[in-house]
Amino acid sequence: MVPFAGSDEQLHALRATLDRLRLRPGDELVVSDNRRDPIRTPAYARNRAAADASGEWLVFLDSDTIPDPGLLDAYFDPAPRSQTAVLAGGIEDLAVRPTIVARTNVARARMSERITLERAGTPYAQTANCAVRRTAFEGVDGFEAGARAGEDADLCFRLQRAGWGLEARPQAAVQHRSRGSLRAWLVQMAVHGSGAAWLDRRWPGEFSATGPLGLGRQMARGTIDALSSLARGERRAATAAILDLLGAAAFELGRLLPNTRHPEADRMPS
């Protein structure tokens, strides 16, 4: 199931991309159009799709991913353990447009599932590509519908607190289309920062803020790295270091933004 909020042309392209999936008997493919929902968040759209589906497992993808045709078979080979609620699929960054930003995102593997599975805090799966056991999903009331970002980590944390487990399924893979422009990527980073601050309020210590001093030190180190790379004539490395600085700043500034949407703010005019 895939949340969607783009244009009709983009919806047509999404359906063409999803047609590559090999469906098995009983599988359902649900594109959850969020454009006229009372709350326009991916979390709300995923909850609605889950309520309409009937399968034992709910496989969540993002609309900017390209799934491997054998994704569904790969998720369940081997069979999940009985106490597993979440399967974390593989995510590979893809530069659809060969811009500096997109190429750097690919080189940094910014969307890799390993980042969230091997983090210092509680591991979690990204809803860009994961599968969740329906009984577990319903047992914790699904995603926090109003959250703009971070709802995947929040769901995984609640499931693990309830005694459920998580398994990695790197072979169940998708490619994630990296943002091609600097502006789009910085907006994405700010949204992620907003989600991180929201998560840290709900789960203290999981996504602690760097703080002004920490951010200052990070900026200083990044500036030194960029200047050193330029001095050695390594322009790509210098550019990557500068992008890291801008991304870190956007992420931390994003912490100041609200992460929750409400029906009143998002209701479409009649």
Separation between Cα atoms, residue 39 and residue 50, nearest integer Å: 16
Give the HSE-up count for residue 72: Cα atoms under 13 Å, Cβ half-sphere. Answer: 20
pLDDT value of position 174: 98
Which tokens sit at 180? Answer: 């091609």
Q: Does residue 40 carry a pLDDT above 50?
A: yes
The torsion of the CA quartet 111, 117, 121, 127, rounded to 10 degrees, works out to 60
Separation between Cα atoms, residue 194 and residue 186, nearest integer Å: 12
On the question of a cis peptide bond just before residue 25, with omega within 30 degrees of 0, the verdict is no
Q: What percent of the chain has pLDDT over 90?
A: 89
Maximum Cα interatomic distance, the chain, rounded to a whole number of Å: 60
Q: What is the pLDDT of residues 90-137, one digit of tens each?
A: 999 999 999 999 999 999 999 999 999 999 999 999 999 999 999 999
The 3-state DSSP class for residue 115 equals: helix
Q: What is the pLDDT of residues 83-95, one digit of tens each?
A: 999 999 999 999 9
Long-range contacts of 48-52 (CB under 8 A, 24+ apart): 49/1, 49/2, 49/3, 50/1, 50/134, 50/137, 50/142
Let me know: does 114 contact 76? Beta carbons within 8 Å. no
Distance of CA 58 to the CA centre of its chain: 16
Burial of 137 (0-12, 13-18, 19+ CB in 10 A): buried
Separation between Cα atoms, residue 244 and residue 107, nearest integer Å: 12
C-alpha Rg value of the chain to the nearest Å: 19
Starting at the edge strand that comes first in sequence, how are the strands of the sheet with 57-61 ordered? 57-61, 129-133, 84-94, 165-177, 65-67
pLDDT value of position 269: 36
User: For the chain, what are the domain ranges?
Assistant: 2-178, 184-266
Burial of 230 (0-12, 13-18, 19+ CB in 10 A): middle
Q: What is the pLDDT of residues 188-241, one digit of tens each?
A: 999 999 999 999 999 999 999 988 888 888 889 889 999 999 899 998 899 999
Instruction: Tell me the one-letter amino acid at 62.
Output: D
> Which residues touch 119 (CB under 8 Å, ≥6 apart)?
none
Where is average pLDDT lowest: 91-95, 179-183, 250-254, 265-269?
265-269
Residues 266, 3, 253, CA angle at the centre, nearest 5°?
Answer: 60
Name residue 174's beta-bridge partners.
Answer: 67, 91
CATH of domain 2-178: 3.90.550.10
Instruction: Select from 165, 145, 146, 148 the least CA-distant residue to 156.
Output: 165
* Beta carbons within 10 angstroms of residue 255's beta carbon: 19
- 266 pLDDT band, cuts 50/70/90, is very low
